[in-house]
Amino acid sequence: MDISNSSVKIPKHLKDLPKFYSGVEKLLIAVDCIIFGFDKNNLKLLLFKRKVQPFKDNWTLIGSFVRKGENLDQAAKRILYEATGLSEVLLKQLFCYGRTDRDPGDRVISIAYYALIPLIEDDECTNGEYKAQWFEVDNAPSLILDHNEMVFSARKKLCENAKYEPIGFELLPQKFTLPQLRLLYEALFQRKLDRRNFSKKILSMDILEKLDEKDKSTSTKGANLYRFDELKYKDKLENGFYFKI
């Protein structure tokens, strides 16, 4: 199937014409980000104090209206950068929320994205602008509008995606141990995983690079550090391999 943008090119004489579709009502478009992090045992959520009315000072996801000339992905990226200072981050579009009454401030269509970031300190996230705070996902305060629903769906989607894509690594530091990785998946799937079977499975995929370093912070023996080998992974993908945990 041809998935190129379109075989029908834009005729030149259209380019400088006034816009079509006049008289159609326009709406506000926002992007909201569900920012996940992981800390030892817990999946976490970065929440913010809303700065504007309505619902000023209530807990909220971070979001912003989409600007003129800005793609949706760009908007998500900008929002995340403004809120955390991070730019190389996994962002994924989840769902579009458009109930007419979802925001009493006006009708707003909101596109939800989730972001997976390696945990950083609360105060590094503020950038002077926002009061950000990490919460355990299962222990987070109630949020404004339909943001609770967004978080719920995002968590579910994250869990699904993590089964078939190697996105868990995005939530860990570059170097991590197998026990760490296992705790992450246990938090995502909300169930215990067998230590031995987990190691076997993840190592058999042959997408981790074993480093010559140990992390002794959780045991006397120390656990080996690994790195996700993205190049190797992508190479394998092309040869019919697919990630599955």
**Which stretches of the chain bind DNA, using CB under 7 A?**
177-179, 194-197, 199-201, 203, 216, 218-224, 244
Give yes or no for residue 52 binding its own copies (CB under 8 A).
Answer: yes
Answer with the entry of its own copies, DNA, none that 159 interacts with (C-beta below 5 to 8 A by kind). none
Nearest to 111, CA basis, from 71, 171, 165 = 71
Residue list 189-208, contact with its own copies (CB under 8 A): none
Q: What is the dihedral of CA 71, 72, 77, 79, to 10 degrees?
A: 110
Provide the residue type at 28 as one letter: L
Between residues 12 and 196, which has the closer beta carbon with respect to DNA? 196
The 8-37 site mask, x for binding its own copies (CB under 8 A), equals x-xx--xx---xxx--xxxxxx--------
* Residue carrying structure tokens 């305060």: 141
Does 242 engage in binding with its own copies (CB under 8 A)?
no
DSSP-assigned letters across all residues of 43-112:
EEEEEEE--SSSSTTSEE-EEEEPPTT--HHHHHHHHHHHHHS--S-EEEEEEEE--TTS-TTS-EEEEE
Q: Does 241 bind its own copies (CB under 8 A)?
A: no
Interface with its own copies (CB under 8 A), residue from 39, 70, 165, 186:
70
Indicate which single residue of 40, 49, 51, 67 sits in contact with its own copies (rule: CB under 8 A): 67
By CB under 8 A, tell whether 145 contacts its own copies: yes
DSSP SS3 for 210: strand
* Inter-residue contact 132 to 83 (CB < 8 Å): yes
Output 136 or 194, the one with its CB closest to DNA.
Answer: 194
* Residue with Cβ nearer its own copies (67 or 200): 67
CB closer to its own copies out of 151 and 225: 151
Question: Rounded to whole angstroms, how far apart are CA atoms 56 and 20?
Answer: 38
Q: Which stretch binds its own copies (CB under 8 A): 127-135, 147-155, 203-211, 229-237?
A: 147-155
Residue closer to DNA, measured from CB, 107 or 227: 227
Among 122, 123, 138, 209, binds its own copies (CB under 8 A): 138
Whole-angstrom distance, CA of residue 162 vs CA of residue 149:
20
Q: How many C-beta atoms lie closer than 10 Å to residue 58's C-beta? A: 16
Cα dihedral 152/154/157/162 (nearest 10): -120
Residue ranges that bind its own copies, judged by CB under 8 A:
1-8, 10-11, 14-15, 19-21, 24-29, 52-55, 58, 65-72, 93, 95-96, 98-100, 104-109, 111, 137-138, 140, 142-149, 151-152, 155
